[in-house]
C-alpha cells in the first residue's frame, strides 16, 4: 500500500505513465485547450443522471495515475466514503463521488492525454513544478515569445477564472456541475488536478484573493483524493442507495453532458 510519503512519486513510474505525460505535454497548447472548451461547453454530448455517469465510467483505469489500478467508480466511492467518515457536509461527500466523472471524455473517444493527468496554465511560462517539465520542450507554446514571461498573456493577480489551464476532465466536469453545487465544490472539481498551483507557489502571481481562500478547500479535498487509494475496494451495490439519495438532493434526474 502506498503511504503519504510516496504518493505522486513519479521517479520510478512505469513507461506508460511517462509516455502519457510525454504526449500530454507535447499537445496541450493554449489553442488546443481553448478549442476543446468551446467544443464541450455547449454540453450537447448526452443527457444522463449522475449515478448513470458513475456506471458509464466504470470501465476506465487512469493511465496517468501511478497510485491505483482500481476502476473509477471504486476510486470515487473510496474518496466519498473517507469524506463521509470524517463528518463533512453532504455537498462535500457528493463532490468526492463526482469529482472524476469528467473522465467520461475518454469514453467519447478523447485520448487520455487530453482528459486525465495534472493540469497547468497555458499562455505563460511553464514552471518546474509541472510533472516531467522536460517534456514541455516539445510543446509548440514553448517557442511562442509572448508566452515566455511569468505572466505571459495575463495580468498580475487576474484570477484563475481568467486563466486557461490545460484541458481535461476537471474543466469539463466543472462545466457540467457548476449550476448545482456550492462554490467550494466547484473549486474542488475544477482545480483538484492543478498540483502546480495548489501544491507549490509557482503560480501565485495569477491568483486573486478569492482564489487564495478557495484553494484551501481544494487542498482539504485532495487529501481524500490521494490518500484513500487502497487495494480494498468498496461494496458498490451496498453503497448505491445512499449515494442515489444524496445525488437527488442536488441534481435533477438527468443532467446535460
pLDDT digits (tens, 9 = 90+) for 26-59: 999 999 999 999 999 999 999 999 999 999 988 7
Q: At residue 86, what are phi and psi to the nearest 5 degrees? A: -90, 5
H or E element: which one contains 47? Answer: strand 47-48
- Report residue 15 as a C-alpha cell: 513507461
The more confident residue out of 113 and 64 is 113
Q: What span, in angstroms and rounded, lies between the C-alpha atoms of 132 and 25?
A: 8
Q: What span, in angstroms and rounded, lies between the C-alpha atoms of 210 and 236?
A: 37
Cell 469524506, residue? Answer: 83
Q: What span, in angstroms and rounded, lies between the C-alpha atoms of 233 and 219?
A: 24
Residues of the chain with pLDDT > 70, as a percent, come to 88
Q: What pLDDT, on the 0 to 100 scale, is given for residue 6?
A: 42
Q: For residue 19, give the nearest of 61, 63, 59 by alpha carbon.
A: 63
Q: What span, in angstroms and rounded, lies between the C-alpha atoms of 42 and 255?
A: 13
Fold of 45-120+155-251: Hypothetical protein af1432 (1.10.3210)
Across the chain, what does the average pLDDT equal? 91
Neighbours of 146 (CB within 10 A): 11
Domain coordinates in residue numbering, the chain:
45-120+155-251
- Report residue 84 as a C-alpha cell: 463521509
* pLDDT band at residue 8 under the 50/70/90 scheme: very low
Mean pLDDT within 75-99: 96
What is the greatest pairwise CA distance in the chain? 55
Q: How far is C-alpha 167 from the chain's CA centre?
A: 10
Contact status, residue 245 vs residue 92, Cβ threshold 8 Å: no
The pTM assigned to this predicted structure is 0.90
Amino acid at each position: 500500500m502506498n503511504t503519504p510519503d510516496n504518493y505522486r512519486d513519479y521517479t520510478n513510474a512505469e513507461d506508460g505513465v511517462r509516455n502519457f505525460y510525454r504526449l500530454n505535454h507535447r499537445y496541450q497548447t493554449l489553442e488546443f485547450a481553448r478549442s476543446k472548451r468551446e467544443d464541450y461547453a455547449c454540453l450537447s454530448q448526452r443527457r444522463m443522471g449522475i449515478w448513470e455517469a458513475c456506471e458509464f465510467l466504470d470501465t476506465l483505469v487512469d493511465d496517468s495515475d501511478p497510485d491505483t489500478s482500481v476502476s473509477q467508480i471504486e476510486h470515487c466511492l473510496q474518496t466519498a466514503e473517507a469524506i463521509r467518515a470524517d463528518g463533512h457536509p453532504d455537498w462535500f461527500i457528493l463532490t468526492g463521488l463526482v469529482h472524476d466523472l469528467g473522465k467520461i471524455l475518454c469514453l467519447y473517444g478523447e485520448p487520455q492525454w487530453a482528459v486525465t493527468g495534472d493540469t497547468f496554465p497555458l499562455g505563460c511560462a511553464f514552471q518546474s513544478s509541472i510533472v516531467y517539465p522536460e517534456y514541455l520542450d516539445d510543446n509548440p507554446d514553448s517557442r511562442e515569445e509572448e508566452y515566455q514571461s511569468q505572466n505571459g498573456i495575463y495580468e498580475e493577480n487576474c484570477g484563475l477564472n481568467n486563466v486557461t489551464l490545460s484541458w481535461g476532465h476537471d474543466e469539463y466536469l466543472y462545466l457540467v456541475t457548476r449550476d448545482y453545487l456550492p462554490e467550494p465544490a466547484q473549486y474542488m472539481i475544477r482545480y483538484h488536478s492543478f498540483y502546480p498551483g495548489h501544491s507549490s507557489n509557482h503560480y501565485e502571481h495569477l491568483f486573486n484573493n478569492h482564489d487564495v481562500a478557495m484553494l484551501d478547500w481544494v487542498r482539504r479535498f485532495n487529501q481524500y483524493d490521494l490518500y484513500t487509494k487502497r487495494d480494498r475496494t468498496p461494496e458498490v451495490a451496498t453503497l448505491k442507495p445512499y449515494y442515489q439519495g444524496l445525488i437527488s438532493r442536488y441534481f435533477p434526474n438527468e443532467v446535460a453532458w
